[in-house]
Amino acid sequence: MDSSLDLSWMAWTQPTAVFFITIATLLAAMTLWEFFSPGGAPRVGILRFETTRGDRLFVSLLGSAFISLGWLAFASASLWFGLGVCVVYALLVFLLV
């Protein structure tokens, strides 16, 4: 009996792997940031309600997931461009929200 997992049915591409590695890295970085600087001064941005850096990370990850799904469904360009759109979106969320 083979104990290794057969994941050949999954359509993993390099951009998809980078996307999920980026999410894991962001979560680890935010955990360290919170450990060394607890609280993360809440602020009111363009959405007109108070958000913390964890809230902004959640909004940016959720939005990035929808951007990626939309990119796969409607765009014929490379997923690298979609990842670039996600990065710009996340930066805007952290700056403006």
The average pLDDT across 69-73 equals 93
Q: What is the mean pLDDT of the chain?
A: 86
Between 76 and 19, the higher pLDDT residue: 76
Give exposure, 44-73, as e/b (b: 16+ Cβ within 10 Å): eeeeeeebebebbbebbbeebeebbeebee
What is the per-residue pLDDT across 30-67, written as a single tens digit (0 to 9) for each? 899 889 988 778 889 898 989 988 899 899 999 998 99
The domain segmentation of the chain, as residue ranges, is 14-96
Q: Which amino acid is at 26?
A: L
